[in-house]
Amino acid sequence: MNILDRIVVDKRKEVELRKSIIPMAQLETSVLFNRTTKSLAQRLRDSKSGIIAEHKRRSPSKSVINHSLNVQDVASGYEKAGACGMSILTDAKYFGGSLDDLLLARATCELPLLRKEFIIDEYQILEAKSYGADVILLIAAVLDSAEIKLFSELAKSLHLDVLLEVHNEEELQRSIMPSIDMLGVNNRDLKTFNVSLETSKKLSEKMPDEFVKVSESGISTIAAIKELQPFGYSGFLIGENFMKTDNPGREANTFIKALEE
């Protein structure tokens, strides 16, 4: 089994356990469930920089990135820096995140928040809404077309934006549907962890213009963004580059200022 397969197997067990502890009906009574969400897709359309800044403690490919920062400081730092949105890893076993991180970020900032998670069940979408997310991530590599349709339509009914992540043309072609807002190309192969910006370039011409195009992973320089912008990308997910410093907000601020000059 590759790492992605292992994550999905563990995620199915985790979701079953969570369902047994907090039923769906209880999630819908959350204080945050009826809040008005913010559109990340619209923010990216209106932005010069298009930066989605990530909170990530560790990853299977890099082990520990940063365990010493609290999520509130990171969230307020990203907001002051002018990020368009914030991505929050909520997977505990492989990324050291939690839904509490989402809750704390929501209490701290007004940015659109993306729940970065391996979504394999409708329950996780209700969870995202009840913990204050504005956007969910769907990963084509772990879902079939019927699941993408079901999950994205549920998200839209809850006024959540949907970022669909693809790695190749096959995933892209079977996943494009009206209930998606943003198409994200992950430059990191989730099976080998190799990174190449060529993935974003190659897939850009196959992506219809009505979707906001987002490039993810392996983006650590202004030059990389300038290289991708002519291919129609208006969103750039950056995590490690900011999180490996002792002050991600300050790092994001410097980066965004330089990008907008």
Residues forming the active site: 54, 56, 116, 165, 186, 216-217
Rounded-to-integer distance, Cα 252 and Cα 21, Å: 38
Answer yes or no: are the C-beta atoms of 207 and 222 closer than 8 Å.
Answer: no
Rounded-to-integer distance, Cα 204 and Cα 212, Å: 11
Secondary element (H or E) of residue 126: helix 122-130
Rounded-to-integer distance, Cα 115 and Cα 180, Å: 15
β-pair type (58-59, 63-64): antiparallel
User: Does residue 53 sit in helix, strand or coil?
Assistant: strand
Smallest CA-to-CA distance from 18 within 113, 106, 92, 89 is with 92
Answer yes or no: are the C-beta atoms of 105 and 72 closer than 8 Å.
Answer: yes
Answer yes or no: are the C-beta atoms of 86 and 97 closer than 8 Å.
Answer: no
Rounded-to-integer distance, Cα 133 and Cα 114, Å: 6
Q: Distance between alpha carbon 148 and the CA centroid of its chain, in Å?
A: 16
CA 248 to each of CA 106, 215, 256: distance values in angstroms, whole numbers, following the listed order: 17, 20, 12
